[in-house]
Amino acid sequence: MNLSKSEKIMEKAKNFLPAGVNSPVRAFRAVGGTPPFIVKGKGSKIWDLDYNQYIDFVGSWGPLILGHSYEPVLKAVSDTMQYGLSFGAPTALEVEMAEKIVSIVPNIDMVRMVNSGTEAVMSAIRLARGATGKAKIIKFAGCYHGHSDSMLVNAGSGALTQGEPDSAGVTKGAAEDTLTAEYNDLDSVRKLFDLNTNEIAAVIVEPVAANMGVVPPADGFLEGLRKLCDENNALLIFDEVITGFRLALGGAQEFFGVRADIVTFGKIIGGGMPVGAYGASKELMQNIAPLGSVYQAGTLSGNPVAMAAGLKQLEILEQNPQYYTEINEKAKFIANNLRESSKKHDIVMTVNQCGGLVCPYFTSENVTSFSATQKSNLEQFKCYFHGMLEHGIYIAPSQFEAMFINVSHSKDDINALCSAADEVLGTL
């Protein structure tokens, strides 16, 4: 049998990395087959070890909103690294980065830089608990907030129940203060507040749920969360690891006009480097060590090379407000085309889109909840995924991930995606 280079290296990888990968979804378990090992990216394209070219609609899961190997970002990185890779001491770039984030994002006065979205959320939760003196957190089924213990809680449909760990190795103790409500269902949140009077420190939400595909907030949902939090003296945390600097420059707070108390960032904020951040009002951030008693630290946090990449990308986004309109229009165009193709080929499909996030579900249901996302025909998704890959279109290897539209996608790229989808849907 003639193995491709990706298949050969995957065989080796499996000896040294669990399932051959450093993050589970990359292993292609949901769709089968061997993932292409990527060697290079430029603009909207990536290439694998076997010289296959793909138009990339993942963009490293969102961070590369300007596309791959964007010259000014690469230059900022290479200029900065000439002076050294890390000091574990203050550098001016961190201050510039913090000032930039605070000037862009509504309702935050201060930030703390960390190294991933997981870390940002984990720290934001600790801050919420420390500042309120309360223990319980409400999250939503189907929302992903990184892999810290207290956030790995039954993301299934066991709403309104006490937290059940979602992963082996998470103790009942670590999970029991995490309560699960239903996304887009304010009553489920109200019930939890009523059952846990004065015990809820915070509600954490992905303002657009983008880890169960793409589920936008229903009219009034985010506003309702704001109100419930205010009525119950709880903090509202927007996990903007995906939506930040994507829906709009100022993220979901700007896009939907709803204020959050704590905001978490990752992905885009690092321009492709491992960066996260959380921010809040001065009053809340004064709880963070060494000013206050909520401890949080990081040897490589604020790393100058990572700051240089993220800062440059943010500056470019800030200088080009038209990018957001363009991304939104491209995403709308794709969503409409997918809908038309599915009708044409008699494929049952519902396409959700919000800003530069798109997700086709293989179901006739209106996908506004976690339970509706679970109705999608996953066998059909598998065929769709592999068909697209064969047509040189790289999308996330799971139904429950978004398609990330970015600045680098040209008209030709978008048309290539749409015609590939049309052909593939015709074969399902």
Ligand X SMILES: *Cc1c(COP(=O)(O)O)cnc(C)c1O
Nearer to ligand X, 20 or 244 (CB): 244
Q: How far apart are CA 13 and CA 11, in angstroms?
A: 6
**Candidate ranges 101-109, 117-125, 350-358, 420-428; the one touching ligand X (CB under 6 A):** 117-125
Helix orientation angle between 378-390 and 411-427, rounded to the nearest 10 degrees? 130
Contact between 330 and ligand X by CB under 6 A: the answer reads no
What b/e readout covers 173-187, taking b as 16+ CB neighbours within 10 angstroms?
ebbbbbbbbbbbbbe
**Candidate ranges 34-42, 237-245, 280-288, 305-313; the one touching ligand X (CB under 6 A):** 237-245
Give the residue, chosen from 35, 36, 146, 250, that forms a contact with ligand X under the rule CB under 6 A.
Answer: 146
Please work out the total of residues on this chain that contact ligand X, with binding judged by CB under 6 A. Answer: 14
Burial class (CB in 10 A: 0-12, 13-18, 19+), 372: buried
Contact between 35 and ligand X by CB under 6 A: the answer reads no
Q: Which amino acid is at 282?
A: K
- 154-213 positions binding ligand X, by CB under 6 A: 206, 211
Active site members? 144, 239, 267
Contact between 134 and ligand X by CB under 6 A: the answer reads no
Give the residue, chosen from 68, 145, 246, 312, that forms a contact with ligand X under the rule CB under 6 A.
Answer: 145
Contact between 398 and ligand X by CB under 6 A: the answer reads no
Q: Which residue is nearest to ligand X (CB)?
A: 117
Nearer to ligand X, 76 or 121 (CB): 121
Q: How far apart are CA 5 and CA 353, in angstroms?
A: 36
Contact between 139 and ligand X by CB under 6 A: the answer reads no
Q: How far apart are CA 352 and CA 398, in angstroms?
A: 15
Nearer to ligand X, 236 or 421 (CB): 236
Give the residue, chosen from 35, 36, 117, 130, that forms a contact with ligand X under the rule CB under 6 A.
Answer: 117
CB of 172 to ligand X, least distance (A): 23
Nearer to ligand X, 154 or 380 (CB): 154
Tokens matching residue 381: 């998704």
Contact between 241 and ligand X by CB under 6 A: the answer reads yes
**Candidate ranges 95-103, 143-151, 367-375, 410-418; the one touching ligand X (CB under 6 A):** 143-151
**Candidate ranges 113-121, 217-225, 354-362, 381-389; the one touching ligand X (CB under 6 A):** 113-121
Contact between 148 and ligand X by CB under 6 A: the answer reads no
Give the residue, chosen from 64, 97, 110, 121, that forms a contact with ligand X under the rule CB under 6 A.
Answer: 121
Contact between 239 and ligand X by CB under 6 A: the answer reads yes
Nearer to ligand X, 182 or 401 (CB): 401
Contact between 265 and ligand X by CB under 6 A: the answer reads no
Nearer to ligand X, 24 or 426 (CB): 24
Nearer to ligand X, 116 or 184 (CB): 116
Tokens matching residue 291: 């000013």
Residues in the chain: 428
Contact between 279 and ligand X by CB under 6 A: the answer reads no
CB of 147 to ligand X, least distance (A): 7
**Candidate ranges 110-118, 229-237, 254-262, 382-390; the one touching ligand X (CB under 6 A):** 110-118
- 43-82 positions binding ligand X, by CB under 6 A: none
Nearest Cα to Cα of residue 261 among 125, 158, 409, 100 = 125
Q: Which residue has the tokens 């890959």?
A: 389
Contact between 238 and ligand X by CB under 6 A: the answer reads no
CB of 252 to ligand X, least distance (A): 11
Contact between 266 and ligand X by CB under 6 A: the answer reads yes
For the sheet containing 262-265, what is the strand order? 110-114, 276-280, 262-265, 235-239, 200-205, 136-140, 178-181
Contact between 396 and ligand X by CB under 6 A: the answer reads no
Contact between 381 and ligand X by CB under 6 A: the answer reads no
Contact between 124 and ligand X by CB under 6 A: the answer reads no
User: Rule CB under 6 A: which residues touch ligand X?
Assistant: 116-118, 121, 144-146, 206, 211, 239, 241-242, 266, 276
